[in-house]
Amino acid sequence: EAGVAQSPRYKIIEKRQSVAFWCNPISGHATLYWYQQILGQGPKLLIQFQNNGVVDDSQLPKDRFSAERLKGVDSTLKIQPAKLEDSAVYLCASSLARDYPYEQYFGPGTRLTVT
Amino acid sequence: AQKITQTQPGMFVQEKEAVTLDCTYDTSDQSYGLFWYKQPSSGEMIFLIYQGSYDEQNATEGRYSLNFQKARKSANLVISASQLGDSAMYFCAMRPPSNTGKLIFGQGTTLQVKP
């Protein structure tokens, strides 16, 4: 089966510009996660969707980050305006359900560089 | 608050030898899950192995085994018969008992397998 797809793979923008990332989860996966991975650190959860509803967005900087998952399938993550500290890899993951044994499958990530 | 600590930034191992990657965790919860993921240079996070806090036996998956010591709050990953393809970043993660499925990751350990 096809894995989690993400685009673009790389993006370079200047600070104060806006950017959007797209994620297409594995077909049938109800749960979708966006993680931020800063260089040298482990991923940190930004937001989690169950179908098209938000389950956890406690670590999402809501003054500049937004995310949506229309129709409970694809999702977009937006940053507006970007700051230098937003430079990171943004990973999307999906799972059939929230708990193990339904493991999370990760996409290849989008590497964002803010100059 | 839950926390995962990986104290080895980098490790080297000779091909065909075994290696242990350390992971300690901090939680006051009784029910939790522990995971190990592999992240090659391509960027995707690949699920390796899972251990539930109530599992009495250590988890094993092929060449991967998890040395679970609950009293010490450690969940070390053992890779037997290392292969060149095992060179990657390895992350330990914990799923707290909330039903969101959220993962909390450690800082990671870079493993290099020498021929």
Strand A65-68 to strand A88-95: parallel, antiparallel, or no bridges (unpaired)?
unpaired
| Sheet strands (E) in B6-108 | 10-14, 19-21, 24-26, 33-39, 46-52, 60-61, 64-69, 74-79, 88-95, 104-105
Q: What is the dihedral of CA B60, A45, B105, B89, to 10 degrees?
A: 80
Q: Which of A3, A31, A44 is facing B101, going by the closest CB pair?
A: A31
Q: Could you tell me which chain A residue has the CA closest to the CA of B52? A: A100
Other CB atoms within a 10 A radius of the CB of residue A83 amount to 12
Q: Which two tokens stand for residue B70?
A: 């609950």
Q: Give B104's contacts in chain A (Cβ within 8 Å).
A: 45
User: Which of B52, B101, B106 is nearest residue A42 as measured by Cβ atoms?
Assistant: B106
The confidence score (pLDDT) of residue A60 equals 95
CB-CB contact of B113 with B80 (8 Å)? no
- Predicted local confidence at residue A1, as pLDDT: 66
Q: What is the pLDDT of residue A102?
A: 66
pLDDT recorded at residue B2: 83
B52 touches chain A (CB under 8 A): yes
- Measured distance CA(A2)–CA(B99) in Å, rounded: 27
Residues of chain B with pLDDT under 70: 98-100
Query: Are the C-beta atoms of B22 and B7 separated by less than 8 Å?
Result: yes
- What pLDDT is stored for residue B101 in this prediction? 74
Q: What pLDDT does residue B99 have?
A: 61
User: What's the CA gap between A9 and A86, in Å, rounded?
Assistant: 16
Q: What is the pLDDT tens value at each position of chain A, 115 positions in all?
A: 689 999 999 999 999 999 999 999 999 999 999 999 999 899 999 999 998 899 999 999 999 999 999 888 999 999 999 999 999 999 999 998 766 666 889 999 999 999 9
Could you give the CA distance from residue B75 to residue B57 in angstroms, rounded to a whole number? 12
Q: So what's the pLDDT on residue A71?
A: 84
Interface membership of A22 toward B (CB under 8 Å)? no
